[in-house]
Amino acid sequence: MKKLTFLVLILLAFVAAQGQTNKRTSAYNYLRNNKLDKALEYIEPTITHEKTMNDAKTWYYRGTIYLQIALSDKPEFQNLVENPLAISFESFKKALLMEDANDYKVEIYTNINVIADGFFRKGVEAYTTDNFNKASEMFFRTAAVKEEIGVIDTTSFFNAALSAQEGGNVQAAKAAYVKLAEMNYDKPLVYVSLANILMEEGKTDEAFKTIIIGREKYPTDFSVLITETNFYLKTDQTEKALANLQEAKLNDPTNPTIFYAIGVNYDKVNNVTEAISAYKKAIELKPDYFDAIYNLGAIYVNEAATIMEEANKLPLDKVKEYDALKAKADLALDNALPYLEQAHAIEATDKNTIISLKEIYARKGKLDKVKEMDAKLNP
């Protein structure tokens, strides 16, 4: 009786094991016939049963089923599970750990590439709809999937960094840029973006080292040059900034921002002639460039103020000299007026422009204009 019971138990175990392999075969057949819902139903029990859970075949079939669900254009299959690409990837990874993995390795590697492409497409879709955090996640996943088969996907990693930065996830972007630099990824933007992030964090020395490396690698790249120039501007290294800006001017002679920056820096070192020339060039390239127009007007206003300060220091009997200096100051104000009026026409609410115009109108005795500016200052 005991022998019979033992034999029955053996037969039941055999039947159970056979049942699991039959389910796995059924899952595969349903997969071949594109009945993905049934394939999913039959494959799931096999991943937890001791007779099939340690077979590469089981996990390979499961990965393939989930991959086909992810790729399906049929709504009834698309809604079967969430994140089918991720589940497919994990299944293939599990298959590769099994003793019989070599029987399926070629197919698994091919499918993993398909999964990577799927994540990449999702990243592109998210980026084009301004969903930058999801885009970053998808591009990071693409890189991770590729890494599983020994491929370093720097393009996906770079896209992940850009998306993370766009989405405000600065630390993720920073970590990605650091890794890309370590991998010697051949894109100037890696060094530009990393240096800018470090500058924003107040890590000036690290930022400078980063951009210097970028300049050494890409000596003719305009974006790297401008980033280094911005560093000099922010750290008040005017002469170095000017040297870079002169180089930038040669590289991009139609960029009004460069000429504006040149004007600002010549302004700082009191080289009025060069500042005026640079501002005028910026305005020539961009006729509605408010900052350049206002600064040009301000130069003439300051010139008038300096001249009048000199005139006011003259003795009372130096009337002729005083009148000559006053006439010179008035000419400077005449030069300033059209620029400040143009600036006011562009930005009618800018208070500095209104105050400057009020002072000039007062000097010229245009009381109606003075009242008009007063009304704008005190609405």
Q: What is the mean pLDDT of residues 249-256?
A: 90
Assigned domain for 137 exists: no
Classify residue 46: in a domain, yes or no.
Answer: yes
Residue with tokens 């009026």: 341
How does DSSP classify residue 53?
T
Q: Is the pLDDT of residue 329 over 90?
A: no
pLDDT-derived band of residue 319, with 50, 70 and 90 as boundaries?
confident
Q: Which of 67-81, 108-122, 168-182, 200-214 has the lowest mean pLDDT?
A: 67-81
Using 50, 70 and 90 to split pLDDT, how confident is the model at 46? confident
Give the rounded percent of residues in the chain with a pLDDT score beyond 90.
49
Question: What is the token pair recorded at 91?
Answer: 């299944």
Neighbouring CB atoms inside 10 A of 196's CB total 18
Q: Is residue 88 part of a domain?
A: yes
Residue 38 within a domain: yes
In this prediction, residue 225 has a pLDDT band, given cuts at 50, 70 and 90, of: confident
Q: How far apart are CA 57 and CA 330, in angstroms?
A: 92
Q: Radius of gyration over alpha carbons of the chain, in Å?
A: 36
pLDDT at res. 56: 85
Q: Is residue 184 part of a domain?
A: no
**Residue 123: pLDDT band with limits 50, 70, 90:** very high
- Kindly state the average pLDDT of the residues 152-181: 93
Query: Does any domain span residue 231?
Result: no
Question: Average pLDDT, whole number, for the chain?
Answer: 87
State which residues form the domain around 28.
Answer: 17-103
Residue 15, pLDDT score? 41
pLDDT (tens digit per residue) in 57-88: 989 999 898 899 888 888 888 788 888 999 99
Task: Pick the most confident of 43-57, 73-87, 122-136, 221-235.
Answer: 122-136
**Within 10 A of 37 (CB to CB), how many other CB atoms are there?**
12
Task: Tell me what pLDDT residue 38 has.
Answer: 86
Is 78 a member of any domain?
yes
Q: Which two tokens stand for residue 261?
A: 């920056």
Residue 288 belongs to what H/E stretch?
Answer: none
DSSP 73: -
Task: Name the nearest CA neighbour of 42 among 57, 54, 30.
Answer: 30
3-state secondary structure of 253: coil
Specify the range with the lowest mean pLDDT, choosing from 16-25, 110-119, 245-254, 282-291. 16-25
CA-to-CA dists, residue 322 to 101, 183, 309, 316, 327, angstroms: 98, 69, 11, 9, 9
Which pLDDT value is given to residue 226? 85
Grade residue 251 by pLDDT with cuts at 50, 70 and 90: confident
Check if the beta carbon of residue 63 is closer than 8 Å to that of residue 101. no
Contact criterion met (CB below 8 Å) for 234 and 207: no
How many residues comprise the chain? 379
263 burial type by CB count under 10 A (0-12 exposed, 13-18 middle, 19+ buried): buried
Q: How many domains does the chain have?
A: 1
Q: Is residue 31 part of a domain?
A: yes
Banded model confidence at residue 20, pLDDT cuts 50, 70, 90: low
**Positive or negative CA dihedral for 257, 263, 264, 269?**
positive
The residue written with tokens 């000429």 in the block is: 259
How high is the pLDDT of residue 190? 95
